[in-house]
Amino acid sequence: MIALEVLYEDNHCLALNKPAGLLTQGVPPGVPTLEAQARDYLKQKYHKTGRVYLGIPHRLDRPVSGVVLFARSSKAAARLAEQFRERQVTKVYWALVERDGQGEPPPSEGIWEDWLLKRAEEARSEVVPAHTPAARQARLRFRRLACFDESALLEVYPETGRMHQIRVQAASRGWPVRGDVLYGAKLPFGPDAELPRDRLIALHGRSLTFLHPIRYEPITVTASVSDHWAGWTL
């Protein structure tokens, strides 16, 4: 089991740096997950014999690494879930994207606004016209941090939280996240994987800023990148 990287911990919250390739939460039970590792960590550290409560106000996709915030009480879970629902949490991601077919990187900064439709049976989303039934608006801001021969590093600030939002919005403009074959990436990221579900993509939940659920003071939690990012970050 990979050692947990604890980013923040008190009686109400626990923030961890999720490795890419690990599920946040498992369905069905028994699959290795960050949630199960967090429960084991708390049980051992605090010598708990019963079930450990953990609320999960948000998740990261399996191939994505970065900050995951858990709640350690039902009161904290409800208040953090409300912050995510009301878009009061500031989320920052790093995305290493491929240059487009003409070799051009994304602009130095910008805003992407789309309507996304979740295809649950295919476990993916797609950009659709605004009038499409069940489509939901997606918006993010970004700035370009660096350019490379075949790629560009973006810092992304999603303002909505749609399924695969950053991945599909970037890919729809010709700049897929490296390693993200689901959305058309051609360049690899990280080690080779035998199974598609084990592939890593170059998307990292860099930081979360939220209000503490009890004290209401702002807290920013930042997650370092893994060795797979060596040479790509500043």
Residues contacting residue 88 through CB under 8 Å, at least 6 positions apart? 82, 210, 211
Q: Taking a C-beta distance cutoff of 8 angstroms, is the pair 39, 47 a contact?
A: no
Burial class of 28 by CB neighbour count within 10 A (0 to 12, 13 to 18, 19+)? exposed
Residue type for position 130? A
For 206, list phi and psi in degrees, rounded to 5: -70, -45
* 117: β partners: 126
Contacts 24+ apart (CB under 8 A), 186-194: 186/98, 187/98, 187/150, 187/151, 189/96, 189/228, 190/20, 190/228, 191/228
State yes or no: is 61 an active-site residue. Answer: yes
Which listed residue (10, 40, 61, 198) is catalytic? 61
Q: Render the burial of 181-210: b for 16+ CB within 10 Å, e for the rest.
A: ebbebebebbeeeeeeeebbbbbbbbbbeb
* 116: β partners: 127, 136
Between CA 12 and CA 21, with CA 15 as vertex, the angle to 5 degrees is: 140
Report, as residue numbers or ranges, the catalytic residues.
61
